């Protein structure tokens, strides 16, 4: 059998916590009807305080998740966890929509609940403790239940007496599940929140609008922007995140598989880094900036000169072609004929810059003539200025 740990959860927070401890694991998330189990326990233990209710519900849900994963995968080593947030007797799971998330934050921040909040949150499911926690702000309690299943064939020996005492046999109606030992515990932490300021409200609104609240019990995460709302924590912060790392390593360290350490062959050279001031950075950027491209005025002048000469040559050539040669008449005399007038055509200006001209035939003819000259120059002279080559 593989010695990898199977994490029966899809929570990215729990994955990151196991990675911090360098534990070798894979993930599989079984489908468990958490609402049905919670409602049944609430009915059985009606009237219990929220501390006891948190322990009962999270411990049972963690066990059911682990058993579901064991039944479906037959993995030798399975870890499951469940986290529950309770405040003023209310059980706060994952919010279904933005309205419920806002009501949860109103409760956690100690605000007076409106009629809309009460309609969304319902009635308290447990009895709140009598202790005065409001000294540091509104108090709420986070409970995280943990269940570790170990197959009997996985460790047949080499277990310490202390761990052997903590492992209990699983007894269910399914024979394949009775081949496991279980180790369960619940850790609790207290969290204080307070503040009814514009900054607090904006933090809550932005967090909910970003959609970060929907996959978290209590609608918040201690390691995200909502950390700005927290005034204090009593207990392990990883319990609030969803997996009490310290208690897990303390109770299960000899079972949890660790990743193989990677050997470091090359020690990187330590280089001294000089911190530059703003003025030094500005001067350095100015020195390393590329010099502006200089325009060769001689090249520009020569290009313009060639263009003007070619244009004048074209004008002279056109004037000469407009006069037809003399042809003999019927009586044998020579008669000078004027050139045939061409019908002026309106040029297509859709791909060129707009030109200002009147509607007279003379202006249209001039535009037509200039465009024809420019087109011929483009074909014959590749050294034209860039503005004439493009326009």
Q: Tens digits of per-residue pLDDT, 70-84?
A: 999 999 999 999 999
Mean pLDDT of 307-332: 55
Give the whole-angstrom CA distance, residue 47 versus residue 31: 29
Q: How confident is the model at residue 252 (pLDDT cuts 50, 70, 90)?
A: confident
Q: What are phi and psi of 92, to 5 degrees?
A: -110, 105
Which DSSP symbol is given to 78? E
List the structure tokens of 347.
Answer: 């040029």
pLDDT given at position 9? 92
E strand or H helix at 334, and its extent?
Answer: strand 334-335
Output DSSP code: residue 49.
B
Please state the φ and ψ torsions of residue 143, each to the nearest 5 degrees: -115, 135
Per-residue pLDDT tens digits for 224-242: 888 888 888 999 999 999 9
Report the share of the chain in percent with pLDDT over 90. 27
Mean pLDDT confidence for 300-310: 55
- 262 has pLDDT over 60: no
Does this model's pTM top 0.95? My answer is no
If DSSP codes are grouped into helix, strand and coil, which group holds residue 130?
coil
Asked if the model's pLDDT at residue 111 lies above 80, the reply is yes
DSSP state of 287: H
On whether the CB atoms of residues 76 and 154 are closer than 8 A, the answer is: yes
Decide which of 58 and 283 is more confident: 58
Asked whether the beta carbons of 204 and 105 are under 8 A apart, the reply is yes
For the stretch 147-195, pLDDT in tens is: 999 998 876 666 778 888 888 999 888 888 999 999 999 999 999 987 7
Instruction: Report the distance separating Cα 23 and Cα 77, nearest Å.
Output: 12
For 302-315, letters b (16+ CB in 10 Å) and e give ebeeebeebeeebe
Q: Which of 24, 33, 82, 97 is catalytic?
A: 82
- Which strand (E) or helix (H) includes residue 214? none
Average pLDDT, the chain: 76
pLDDT classification of 1: cutoffs 50, 70, 90: very low
What span, in angstroms and rounded, lies between the C-alpha atoms of 201 and 70? 44
- In this predicted structure, what is the pLDDT of residue 129? 59
Residue that wins the pLDDT comparison between 172 and 305:
172
- Percentage of the chain lying above the pLDDT 70 cut: 65
Greatest mean pLDDT among 222-236, 266-280, 353-367 lies in: 222-236
The average pLDDT across 103-124 equals 85
Cβ neighbors of 251 (< 8 A, separation 6 or more) are: 163, 166, 183, 185
Question: Mean pLDDT throughout 104-121?
Answer: 85
Q: Regarding predicted confidence, which is higher, 124 or 356? A: 124
| Known catalytic residue at 82 | yes
Spatial CA neighbour of 181 closest among 197, 164, 194, 193: 164
Residue 351, classed as helix, strand or coil, is: coil
Tell which residue, 102, 82, 137, 88, has the closest CA to residue 219.
102
Q: State the number of CA atoms in the 13 A half-sphere of 61 facing the CB.
A: 28
Q: How many residues does the chain have?
A: 391
pLDDT at 302: 54
Structure confidence by residue, pLDDT tens digits, 194-205: 777 788 888 999
**Distance between CA atoms of residues 16 and 5, nearest Å:** 14
């Amino acid at each position: 059998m593989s010695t990898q740990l199977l994490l029966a959860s899809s929570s990215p927070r729990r994955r990151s916590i196991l990675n911090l401890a360098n534990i070798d694991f894979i993930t599989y998330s079984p489908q468990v009807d958490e609402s049905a189990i919670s409602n049944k326990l609430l009915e059985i233990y009606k009237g219990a305080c929220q501390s006891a209710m948190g322990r009962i519900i999270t411990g049972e849900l963690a066990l059911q998740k682990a058993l579901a994963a064991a039944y479906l995968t037959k993995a030798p080593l399975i870890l499951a966890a469940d986290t529950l947030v309770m405040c003023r007797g209310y059980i706060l799971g994952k919010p279904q929509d933005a309205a419920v998330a806002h009501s949860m934050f109103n409760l956690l921040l100690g605000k007076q609940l409106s009629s809309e909040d009460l309609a969304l949150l319902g009635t308290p499911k447990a009895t709140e403790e009598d202790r005065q926690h409001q000294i540091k702000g509104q108090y709420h309690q986070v409970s995280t239940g943990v269940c570790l299943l170990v197959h009997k064939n996985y460790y047949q020996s080499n277990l310490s007496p202390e761990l052997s005492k903590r492992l209990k046999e699983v007894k269910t109606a399914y024979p394949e599940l009775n081949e496991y030992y279980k180790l369960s515990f619940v850790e609790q932490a207290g969290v204080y929140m307070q503040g009814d300021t514009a900054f607090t409200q904006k933090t809550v609104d932005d967090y909910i609008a970003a959609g970060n609240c929907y996959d978290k019990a209590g609608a918040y995460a201690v390691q995200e922007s909502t950390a700005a709302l927290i005034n204090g924590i009593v207990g392990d912060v990883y319990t609030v995140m969803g997996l009490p790392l310290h208690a897990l390593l303390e109770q299960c360290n000899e079972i949890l598989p660790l990743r193989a350490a990677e050997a470091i062959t090359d020690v990187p050279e330590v280089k001294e880094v000089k911190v530059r001031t703003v003025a030094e950075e500005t001067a350095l950027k100015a020195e390393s900036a590329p010099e502006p491209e200089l325009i060769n005025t001689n090249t520009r002048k020569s290009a313009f000169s060639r263009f003007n000469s070619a244009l004048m040559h074209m004008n002279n050539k056109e004037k000469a072609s407009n006069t037809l040669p003399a042809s003999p008449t019927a009586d044998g005399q020579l008669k000078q004929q004027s050139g045939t007038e061409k019908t002026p055509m309106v040029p297509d200006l859709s791909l060129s810059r707009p030109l200002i001209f009147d509607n007279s035939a003379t202006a249209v003819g001039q535009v037509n003539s200039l465009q024809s000259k420019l087109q011929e120059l483009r074909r014959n002279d590749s050294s034209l200025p860039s503005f004439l080559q493009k326009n």
